[in-house]
Amino acid sequence: MARAEVEVVRVYGTRDRQRGEYRVLVDRLWPRGLTKEQVDYDEWVKDVAPSGALRSWYGHDPELFAEFSRRYRRELRQSPGKDALVRVLGAAGRHRLVLLTGTRDVEHSGAEVLRRVLRAARG
């Protein structure tokens, strides 16, 4: 993986850590059924995740993904999401970044939206 890339990986059955990467759990809730010892992560940044209200509205319905993405990006422009995003961007500037999520449908997840935002911010 090139340094400028940001990868999203499911926390369940994740691949082994690669040299030089920084692994950030980006879900607001801890992944069900896993202990903290079972998850290979460097940092858990809850505030970078979509709000509980937005997650409930979205309900992981792929038909709502475009609107979910728009609303989530708006949340990332306001505190506390903005501050958390700056924190993750700081880590991303020093390491290859892996966003960990418990979401089944990674393609239509907040982690995927965040990956796109981070890649755009990193150039």
Q: pLDDT at position 3, please?
A: 47
Is a pLDDT exceeding 50 seen at residue 44?
yes
User: By three-state DSSP, how is residue 88 classified?
Assistant: helix
Q: Quick one: average pLDDT of 3-30?
A: 87
Which two three-digit tokens encode residue 43?
Answer: 């940092």
Is residue 100 within 8 A of residue 41, CB to CB? The reply is yes
> Which residues span the domain enclosing 33?
6-122
- The confidence score (pLDDT) of residue 4 equals 52
Domain count, the chain: 1
Classify residue 1: in a domain, yes or no: no
Task: Encode pLDDT of 61-101 as tens digits.
Answer: 999 999 999 999 999 999 999 999 999 988 877 788 999 99
